[in-house]
């Protein structure tokens, strides 16, 4: 039995060049499905992973009630002072509250890779920002001076955008800011520009801040802080643990990518399945006499079914390889900027072996289903009918 299966399968694979056009159609269809699937999975995993990796359990972020992101939040200027007096807030060595009121805006800058403009976040921070975000380390130059149009740039942003070297000028509203230092955080938040909040708010004519972030004495101090702010009649705010804030963003992305991945890719897979069925039916029909002759010579139906399925799986491997290669060329190593509480989050797209395996599994599943029905039909076709086919 195994020798028969091997013989029929080898004959089927050798005849693929005779059906090159139909085979290419199958490969292109499966490559499209795999390319989209791998790309979407890569984007989803990279973006949600970046969001979930940056939150600190000992920090709380305060936004206007009902605002899910900083850009939609507008808080009164005295909010930082109220938060600073709340219980559970950590203190600096000098005895000041570890609280920062931030303003977020953006500027378009050309990318190094292709020169295209992309949004670069600009964050104005309070005097205690570095006591709140202790992971920020200055790796080049010096800190910006309060009251001056100076800024420091994240290492990731500096590598992604042009014109952000120490000493360079960046045009913002109402003037230019000089880059005086480079900072790193070791995660996706080492991006964007950081400058003095009062200087930035004055330049943009803002009479509010977007968020207030506080470092807690311990993660267990969060309930006391939240209760105190919720009970304050002068405030209308939502208070989040930082990991919860980013997890909320990740959930929104997951919902979006779930729809794209499973709905859109399923539609594409269905189209590829129809194409595979048509191609396989045509391929089997063109070999009707050959298959009937083999059956008349004593080759079993199982060998025929296996040969057709293996042929389809071989084409699926080629399609998966092509689709994965295209996705890798387009997305691997690229990055995307997202809003976050520490500045812009830059998520780097990395195609993982698990994602490639998922794409391959989808391609093989589509090919298997597309080949199974014509294979069974060929095996069940009466010999007399098949031998009369020309």
Going from the C-alpha of 367 to that of each of 25, 269, 362, the distances in angstroms are 12, 10, 9
pLDDT digits (tens, 9 = 90+) for 278-291: 666 666 666 666 66
* Distance of alpha carbon 122 from alpha carbon 194, whole angstroms: 6
From the list 385, 347, 19, 21, the residue with the least C-alpha distance to 189 is 347
DSSP of 226-274: HHHHHH-TT--EEEEEHHHHHHHHHHHHHHHHHHIIIIIHHHHHHHHHH
Helix (H) or strand (E) holding 154: strand 150-154
Instruction: Give the residues across from 212 on adjacent strands.
Output: 62, 101
- Model pTM above 0.85: no
* Distance of alpha carbon 146 from alpha carbon 127, whole angstroms: 8
Cβ(330)–Cβ(274) below 8 Å = no
Which pLDDT score is estimated for 339? 45
DSSP state of 287: T
Within the chain, which residues score under 50 in pLDDT?
338-344, 390
Which pLDDT score is estimated for 291? 65
3-state secondary structure of 193: strand
pLDDT digits (tens, 9 = 90+) for 167-192: 999 999 888 999 999 999 876 667 78
Which pLDDT score is estimated for 86? 95
* Distance of alpha carbon 360 from alpha carbon 324, whole angstroms: 9
Going from the C-alpha of 172 to that of each of 160, 189, 236, the distances in angstroms are 19, 21, 31
pLDDT digits (tens, 9 = 90+) for 267-313: 766 666 676 666 666 666 666 666 666 666 666 667 777 777 787 78
Show the CA angle centred on residue 74, arms to residues 72 and 77, nearest 5°.
160
Which pLDDT score is estimated for 310? 81
Give residues with Cβ within 8 angstroms of 292, minimum separation 6.
381, 383, 386, 387, 389
């Amino acid at each position: 039995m195994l020798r028969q299966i091997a013989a029929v399968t080898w004959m089927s694979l050798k005849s693929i060049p005779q059906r090159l056009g139909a085979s290419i159609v199958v490969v292109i269809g499966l490559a499209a499905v795999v390319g989209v699937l791998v790309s979407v999975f890569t984007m989803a995993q990279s973006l949600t992973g970046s969001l979930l990796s940056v939150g600190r359990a000992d920090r709380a972020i305060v936004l206007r009630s009902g605002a899910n992101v900083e850009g939609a939040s507008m808080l009164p200027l005295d909010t930082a002072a109220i938060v600073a007096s709340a219980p559970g807030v950590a203190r600096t060595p000098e005895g000041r509250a570890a609280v920062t009121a931030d303003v977020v805006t953006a500027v378009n800058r050309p990318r190094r890779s292709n020169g295209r403009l992309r949004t670069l976040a600009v964050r104005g921070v309070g005097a205690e920002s570095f006591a709140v975000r202790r992971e920020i380390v200055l790796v080049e130059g010096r800190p910006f001076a309060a009251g001056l149009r100076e800024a420091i740039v994240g290492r990731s942003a500096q590598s992604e955008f042009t014109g952000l070297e120490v000493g360079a000028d960046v045009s913002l509203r109402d003037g230019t800011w000089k880059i005086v230092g480079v900072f790193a955080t070791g995660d996706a938040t080492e991006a964007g520009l950081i400058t003095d909040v009062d200087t930035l708010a004055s330049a943009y004519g803002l009479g509010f801040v977007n968020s207030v972030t506080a470092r807690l004495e311990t993660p267990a101090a969060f309930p006391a802080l939240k209760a105190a702010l919720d009970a304050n009649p002068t405030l209308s705010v939502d208070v989040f643990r930082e990991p919860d804030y980013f997890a909320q963003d990740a959930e929104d992305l997951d919902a979006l990518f779930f729809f794209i991945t499973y709905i859109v890719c399923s539609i594409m897979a269905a189209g590829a399945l129809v194409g595979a069925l048509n191609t396989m039916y045509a391929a089997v029909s063109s070999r009707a006499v050959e298959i009937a002759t083999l059956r008349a010579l004593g080759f079993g139906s199982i060998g025929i079914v296996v040969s057709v399925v293996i042929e389809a799986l071989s084409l699926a491997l080629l399609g998966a390889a092509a689709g994965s290669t295209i996705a890798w060329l387009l997305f691997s190593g690229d990055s995307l900027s997202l809003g976050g509480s520490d500045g812009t989050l830059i998520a780097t797209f990395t195609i993982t072996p698990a994602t490639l395996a998922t794409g391959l599994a989808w391609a093989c599943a589509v090919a298997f289903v597309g080949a199974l029905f014509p294979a069974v039909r060929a095996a069940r076709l009466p010999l007399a009918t098949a031998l009369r086919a020309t």
